[in-house]
Structure 1
Amino acid sequence: MVALGIGVALSIPGLVSIGAFWIAMGFAIRSQGLSIKDLQARAKDDAGKKAVVLDRRTFTISTALFIVLGVPSLLTGILELGISADDANWRWLPIVVGAYALFIGVGGAVLYLTGSAIEAKTGPAPTIPATIWIKAVKETGTYINERPRLEFVFRVEPEASSGVAAYEVTKKATVPFTAMGSLKVGDGFSAKVAGPEHPTSMDIAWDQPVGTAGADDVSARLAALDALKADGKVSDEEYRSQRERILGSL
């Protein structure tokens, strides 16, 4: 709107055109931004906290919008389209805005594609039902979203029907607080894995421990859960759910 106003006031057709273009693109980018916020509001991680989710389609549209915004802006400034020699100093306005838009679009594309490539190297999506058993666990000293990141040695036992043999793997994982009472050597969890060719590719169902717990073990887990509740690290709903799960393991 500022660029459009300057263009009208100083009779600079280039600024009038690019200003009107920016206003139109602004509505499109704002609409896309609201869609992303809606995705974020509906998406939650395994601890129940909001998680940033950007699928390939959403990312592609967002990147394209910034590139479409940036390229015409740069061309208007660099080629001085609709900007006379007397008003040449104003060409820097579309150049700066265009360069900034392209930086966001191209920079975001590089980061997204790099991240996608790294994710792809972890292997195919885990689809084989399995039970994983903790053989060893140690702290790494790292926290993500206030949740501890631990290093495990798992024995992975795929379902017999899968035809995949059991194997062991060392894997780092970020663990929700509500699962901390089930992280002793010998404890197990339901999971989906990709197999021994890609051993670290797995989705662990931290809310689905397996095995039968004794009374002493249940008491210890309840005490750990009570401590988490007292520290405010779990919500009332999480506390009730996990308490029922622990008692149900008897």
Structure 2
Amino acid sequence: MNTSRGFTLIELMVTMAIALVVLLAVSQLYLSSKQTYRVQNMQNHLSEDGRFALSMLQRVIGQAGYRADPTVALATDRISGNSGNSVTVKFAADGTNQIDCDGAVAAAGATTLAVALSSGKLQCGTTDWVAPSGSGGGSEVADFKLQYGIDAVDTIPATPADFGCGANVAGGFKERDCIANSYVSTLTGTQTASQIVAVRACLVLRSEKTDVSISKPTTVNDCAGQAIAGSDTDKKLYRTFHTTIVLRNR
């Protein structure tokens, strides 16, 4: 006679224990993968915002002093240099090749654009280039600093007039060589905006979102190399961007 029997209680308990271990392992793998994806997404967002901001800074500041007719004198106020976290540029747009703060073609005529750090945002006029979204998906500007490259008058002028900057000097030369001798946060003394030939920009972004897996051994530094308070424990990602913009219009 054939007999059959089911699982014993011990066998059932062992099976359930194995199933729970497998389920726990799968759950942990899922949670770990989800957390990794979330942090990578935060990193990508910071990178995209930073690259966009640098691109717009290069395009907008690089327009300073543009005029369709190069024989027209270069405006002495084509760029401001009185602030380390804001800058104003002026140019005469031709209606085709220059852009406005929002990236659209600037209307023909005299144009003034101002870029500044304001309440955790990097703005051009009223357009937010980098700003927190309010829902956790944006980036915050932890620091933004500008330095202006000053082209001082050469002690021994030797730059041909076609390639130099500033006033004409004897022998068909210019008084300056269009190369920055030093970088300053604000103009001082006899320095003038007309001597600015380049702009260095530093941008420190941090994620609006937080993640418990983010651990930093020490604080993150700002553009001046100083510690950003609380950056070691805020569970946010940081990234620093640098660029140098050469002012070609002269």
Give TM-score, length-normalised by structure 1: 0.27
Does 1 or 2 have the higher relative contact order (CA < 8 Å, sep 6+)?
A: 2
Q: Name the structure where helix makes up a greater proportion of residues.
A: 1
Higher strand fraction (1 or 2): 2
TM-score (norm: length of structure 2) = 0.27
Q: Compare CA radii of gyration and give the structure with the larger one.
A: 2
